[in-house]
Structure 1
Amino acid sequence: MKEDYFTGEFIAEMRERYFRPRKWEKVKPFRNAAVLAIDLQAYFLRPESRAFLPSAPRFVSGLVEFYREAERLGVPIIFTRHFHRDDIMTRWWGGNMPRDDPLNELLEEFRPFAGTVIEKRTYDAFHGTDLERRLRKLGIETVIVTGIMTHLCCETTAREAFVRGFNVVFPVDGTLTQNRFFHEATLRNLSHGFAVTPLLKEVLEWLSSG
């Protein structure tokens, strides 16, 4: 099920298939944007973890650069950190993600950007958290969804953001999951009814053009 799929060729193919220029033009005027950095924890990104994603090293370096530029441009970055114990997530995945497990800390490379961290216990970053209140307080119109995993927490959060009235940007190369099939399924669905799917570099160009 797991594979190292996150290549330049894959990203170019996904952008070609699912990017909708007309939808991007509709989103661009809504310039009050924030980045959501979903569950960038060592649990998914370190080889010693059972949940390690094979494409993690390539993915991490690109996302660090994106956050560095977004921070320079003054764009808020809100991180989430997932943990669960003895609930439906435990039953579904066959184990807990304890809050005090070192593997459930944010990956060291991302900590310099993690001034705001919201803890969550399910796929949806809005459920049972104050994420929406924080976004409204900042006057955010558009959320840029990045992080782990594409077809679970990232997709669920993107859908919920749309339902709550936010424009959603879901960069083709901004999230990572277990394999290309899960990744593409999310892009196929979200690009049809929920989000615009440019490249990270295109998002930075937009953020810096105002």
Structure 2
Amino acid sequence: MKEDYFTEDFILEMRERYFRQRKWEKIRPFKRVAVLAIDLQRHFLSEKSKAYLPSTRRFVPRLVEFYGEASRLGVPIIFTRHYHEKDIMAHWWGDEMKRDDPMNELLGEFRPFAETVIEKSTYNAFYGTELEGILRKLHVETIIVTGVMTHLCCETTAREAFVRGFKVVFPVDGTLTQNRFFHEATLRNLSHGFAVTPLLSEVLEWLSSE
């Protein structure tokens, strides 16, 4: 089920298939933006973890570069940190992600950008958290969803953001999951009804423009 799929060819193929210019033009005027950095924890991104995502080495440098540029432009980046114990998530997956487990800390490469971190215990980063309140205080209109995993926490949070009235940007190369099939399924669904799917580089061009 797991594969190292996150290649330049895959990224460009997904952009070609699912990016909709007319949807992008609808979102571009709404530039009060925040980035969501979903669950960029060692649990998913360390080779020592059983949940390690094989494309991590391709993915992490791309995202670090994006966060660096977004920070330089003054865009707030809100991180989430996931844990679950003795709940429906633990029942479904057959194990727990304990709050105090060192493997559930953010990957070191992302810590310089993690001024704001909220904790969550399910796929939806809005559920039972202060995320919406933070976004409203910042007068955010548009959220850019990044992180892991594409088809679980990232997709669920993107859908919920749309329902709550936010414009949603879901870069094709901004999230990572276990394989190309999960990744593409999310892009297919979100690009139809919830989000626009450009490249991270296109997002930065937009944020840099007047």
TM-score class, shorter: over 0.9
Distance 2:57 2:89 in 1: 26
Q: Which runs of 5+ in 2 are unaligned?
A: none
How far is 1:160 from its partner? 0.1
**Residue aligning to 2:64:** 64
Q: Which amino acid aligns with 1:192?
A: H
Provide the TM-score with structure 2 as the length reference: 1.00
Using the alignment, how far apart are the partners of 1:39 and 1:45 within structure 2? Answer: 10
SS in structure 2 of the partner of residue 91 of structure 1: helix
Rounded to whole Å, the distance in 1 between the matches of 2:43 and 2:97 is 9
Q: In the TM superposition, what is the alpha-carbon distance from 1:88 to its structure 2 partner?
A: 0.3
User: Partner of 2:138 in structure 1?
Assistant: 138
Partner of 1:114: 114
Structure 1 residue 75: Cα displacement: 0.2
Give CA deviations for 1:7-53 in whole Å, capped at 9, x if unaligned.
Answer: 00000000000000000000000000000000000000001100000
- Please state whether the residue corresponding to 2:68 is helix, strand or coil: helix
CA shift digits 1:46-98 (9 cap, x unpaired) = 01100000000110000000000000000000000000000000010110000
Report the counterpart of residue 31 of structure 1 in structure 2: 31
List alignment gaps of at least 5 residues for structure 1: none
Q: Equivalences for 1:166-177 in 2 at 5 Å?
A: 166-177=166-177
**Alpha-carbon shift at residue 161 of structure 1 (Å):** 0.1
Corresponding residue number in structure 2 for 1:182:
182
RMSD: 0.3
User: 2:201 and 2:12 mapped to 1: Cα distance?
Assistant: 12
TM-score, with length taken from structure 1:
1.00
Q: Tell me how many residue pairs correspond in the alignment.
A: 210
Q: Does 1:42 align with 2:52?
A: no
Structure 1 residue matching 2:97: 3-state secondary structure: coil
Counterpart position of 1:126 = 126
Deviation at 1:122, TM superposition (A): 0.1
Structure 1 residue runs of 4 or more that deviate by more than 4 Å after TM superposition: none
Q: Does 1:158 align with 2:158?
A: yes
By how many angstroms is 1:101 displaced?
0.5
